[in-house]
Chain A
Amino acid sequence: MNLELTVIGGVDKKGEVEPVERLDMKRGEIIGIVGPTGSGKSSLIGDIEQFAQGDTPSGRYILINGRTPGAETRSDPRKKLIAQLSQNMHFLADMTVDEFLKMHAKSRGKPASVAKDVVELANTLTGEPIHPDHHLTILSGGQSRALMTADIAVISDSPIVLIDEIENAGIKKREALDLLAGEGKIVVVVTHDPMLALMPSRRVVMRNGGMYRIIDTSKEERTVCEDLTRVDDWLMSLRETIRQGNVVEAAP
């Protein structure tokens, strides 16, 4: 299926027209959203998630294949085009992991058997394993984040994926991103992390609530990104060593 996602610009926090008037995204593209805290990154993906039609503070319009999406695609999870990993790190529902995942699978029209797969996948991202009988509310921030990520990858398998600050939970961020950004999807990644920001081919810079400009990742930036990946691998191995209670050695 052909799929194109369009954001028609609205206004920033001051009510002034945002400099980027239109943003088009195609299948297979990963796009970054960067900007200072409070600059409107989460609000932008919030607009996309709810298919804003001039009814949010930004006044933006979201189009699918150039047209206003129908009411069903807006709200019925079975027909939902969008999967979203929001900034929230905790579950509030007081039920077990297994019960919850089965109910979520039902709402997305998936068999209950996928609950097991979600837990298995989540446990590849987090340190202390999650058990299906655990209550959701006792999971740590990192465990919740890992479970939300695996839940999106397995249950909410939608063609558009919105990811808000995946780096902030102490889970393996690159593995998590790989899981979410399957083949032929449109992936929008809000991030403060330089490596994640330089990985996509384009990034939107937010300022004062508005889309300020779009930067194409340059060749030089791509090289920087590769260097960052190596630094990140090193950081990750240090983190693991320290987490396991071992002593670190000097850089090779």
Chain B
Amino acid sequence: MRLVVVAGTPGAGKTSVLMHTTRRLLQLGMKPAVVKIDCLWTEDDRRFERLGVPVIVGLSKDMCPDHFSIYNIDDMLAWAASQECDVLLNETAGLCLRCAPYPDSCLAVCVIDVTTGPNAPLKVGPLLTTADAAVVTKGDMVSQAEREVFRERILEVNPKCRIVEANGLSGKGSAELAELIRKGPETTAEMRLRHNPPLAICTLCTGELRVAKEHHRGVLRHLDGFMEYMGE
């Protein structure tokens, strides 16, 4: 079984690119299954269903969708195996830019939209810096110079990643991505994360609604970056 974790900010073009890539994988004789993780709502399963591949949705509700995705990976892989598939495409919600839901033995793909501007690669954090491939979408909306500057910016934060220039509308880049998937790693029994998800649970996480700092406990970070411990 192969695992492909596709992360990227909402609307970056994950589903659009994955649909084209799925078609290509089918042409190559592979058997893909898709799991879409989102927080509250998604229609992506209906889009993937049109391709005739097995697809399920997991909604994380009030939990971090990346945390949810991470500890459900075993279940997802078992489900894909039960569907007699040989590659699991996991499209994440991509909301939390501190977590990166990539285990070590997977193909970690970060989809990033070039129209978000040349500073975007600096903002997405571990989602991009720990990815194997950065798939750049919406290049049809900017000049070649902007695409090249964007590429340079990605390489600044992740010098080793493979950059795929893709287009979710035309399918550009999907052949290249499918090839990376075909040659990608097999999953292993004991997978570990590439990046530590943040551990801190703050008072807000446990349901405090009052705004003022005096009501909050634990490690608090001030606007100027100063951290202090409040509590027993």
Given the contacts A53-B175, A55-B171, A103-B149, A148 and B143 also touching, CB distance less than 8 Å: yes
Given the contacts A75-B165, A88-B141, A88-B142, A93 and B148 also touching, CB distance less than 8 Å: no
Minimum CB distance partner of A151 in chain B: B145
B24, B142, B145: the one contacting A104 at CB < 8 Å is B145
Could you tell me if A56 and B144 are in contact, using CB atoms closer than 8 angstroms? no
Complex interface: chain B residues within 8 A of A54 (CB): 175
Q: What's the least CB distance linking A77 to chain B, in Å?
A: 5
Could you tell me if B118 and A103 are in contact, using CB atoms closer than 8 angstroms? yes
Q: What's the least CB distance linking A78 to chain B, in Å?
A: 10
Given the contacts A88-B143, A91-B143, A107-B148, A56 and B170 also touching, CB distance less than 8 Å: yes
Could you tell me if A57 and B148 are in contact, using CB atoms closer than 8 angstroms? no
A55–B177 Cα distance when bound, in Å, is: 11
Could you tell me if B143 and A83 are in contact, using CB atoms closer than 8 angstroms? no
Could you tell me if B171 and A84 are in contact, using CB atoms closer than 8 angstroms? no
Complex interface: chain A residues within 8 A of B176 (CB): 55
Could you tell me if A50 and B172 are in contact, using CB atoms closer than 8 angstroms? yes
Given the contacts A55-B171, A93-B117, A100 and B143 also touching, CB distance less than 8 Å: no
Q: What's the least CB distance linking A140 to chain B, in Å?
A: 15
Question: In this assembly, does B146 line the interface, its C-beta being within 8 Å of a C-beta of chain A?
Answer: yes
Could you tell me if B141 and A92 are in contact, using CB atoms closer than 8 angstroms? yes
Complex interface: chain A residues within 8 A of B153 (CB): 103
Question: In this assembly, does B84 line the interface, its C-beta being within 8 Å of a C-beta of chain A?
Answer: no
Complex interface: chain B residues within 8 A of A88 (CB): 141-143
Question: In this assembly, does A168 line the interface, its C-beta being within 8 Å of a C-beta of chain B?
Answer: no
Complex interface: chain A residues within 8 A of B143 (CB): 85-86, 88, 91, 148
Question: In this assembly, does B151 line the interface, its C-beta being within 8 Å of a C-beta of chain A?
Answer: yes
Complex interface: chain B residues within 8 A of A94 (CB): 117, 119
Q: What's the least CB distance linking B16 to chain A, in Å?
A: 14
Given the contacts A53-B175, A55-B171, A56-B170, A91 and B142 also touching, CB distance less than 8 Å: yes
Complex interface: chain B residues within 8 A of A103 (CB): 118, 149, 152-153
Interface hub of A49, A85, A104, A108 (most chain B Cβ within 10 A): A104
Minimum CB distance partner of B114 in chain A: A92
Could you tell me if B149 and A100 are in contact, using CB atoms closer than 8 angstroms? yes
Could you tell me if A56 and B141 are in contact, using CB atoms closer than 8 angstroms? no
Complex interface: chain B residues within 8 A of A155 (CB): 145
Could you tell me if B141 and A107 are in contact, using CB atoms closer than 8 angstroms? no
Could you tell me if A107 and B151 are in contact, using CB atoms closer than 8 angstroms? yes
The chain A residues found within 8 Å of chain B, CB to CB, are 46, 49-50, 53-57, 75, 77, 83-86, 88, 91-95, 100, 103-104, 106-108, 148, 151-152, 155-156
Q: List 6 A-B contacts (CB under 8 A).
A: A56-B170, A91-B142, A91-B143, A94-B119, A106-B152, A148-B143
4 closest A-B pairs by beta carbon, nearest first, are A55-B175, A107-B152, A77-B148, A107-B148
